[in-house]
Amino acid sequence: MIEKPKTAKDRIILALDTDNLKEARDLVRELKDYVGYFKIGLPLIVNYGFEAFRLLEELGAKCYYDCKFHDIPHTVQKACISLVKNNIDFFNVHIQGGSKMTSAVVRASKAAAKSMGVNPPTILGVTLLSSFGQRTLTTELCVDKNIEDYVLQLARVAKDSGLDGVVASADETKRIRQAFKDEEGAENFIILCPATRPTWASVNDQVRVDTPRDAILAGADFMVVGRPITTADDRIGAAKLIIDEIESTIEEKTAV
Angle between helix 99-116 and 147-161 (nearest 10): 40
pLDDT, tens digit (0-9, with 9 covering 90-100), for 80-94: 999 999 999 999 999
Asked if residue 27 is part of any domain, the answer here is yes
Q: Residue 96 and residue 99: Cα distance in Å, rounded?
A: 8
Asked if residue 1 is part of any domain, the answer here is no
**pTM recorded for the entire structure:** 0.94
Q: Is 5 within 8 Å of 221 (Cβ atoms)? A: yes
* Cα dihedral value 169, 171, 173, 177, nearest 10: 180
Asked if residue 233 is part of any domain, the answer here is yes
Asked if residue 11 is part of any domain, the answer here is no
Q: How far is CA 27 from the centre of its chain?
A: 19
Mean pLDDT of 171-184: 95
- CATH number, position 29: 3.20.20.70
| Bridge partners (DSSP) listed for residue 40 | 65
Helices (H), the chain: 21-31, 42-48, 51-58, 73-85, 99-116, 134-135, 147-161, 170-180, 212-218, 227-230, 235-255
Active site residue 159: no
Asked if residue 13 is part of any domain, the answer here is no
Residue 245 has pLDDT above 90, yes or no: yes
pLDDT, tens digit (0-9, with 9 covering 90-100), for 189-232: 999 999 898 877 655 545 557 899 999 999 999 999 999 999 99
pLDDT, tens digit (0-9, with 9 covering 90-100), for 209-218: 789 999 999 9
Asked if residue 6 is part of any domain, the answer here is no
> Longest C-alpha distance within the chain, in Å?
48
- Which structural domain, as residue segments, surrounds residue 97? 18-255
Asked if residue 207 is part of any domain, the answer here is yes
How many structural domains comprise the chain?
A: 1
* Cα dihedral value 227, 222, 151, 205, nearest 10: 0
- Which of 68, 100, 145, 181 is the catalytic position? 68
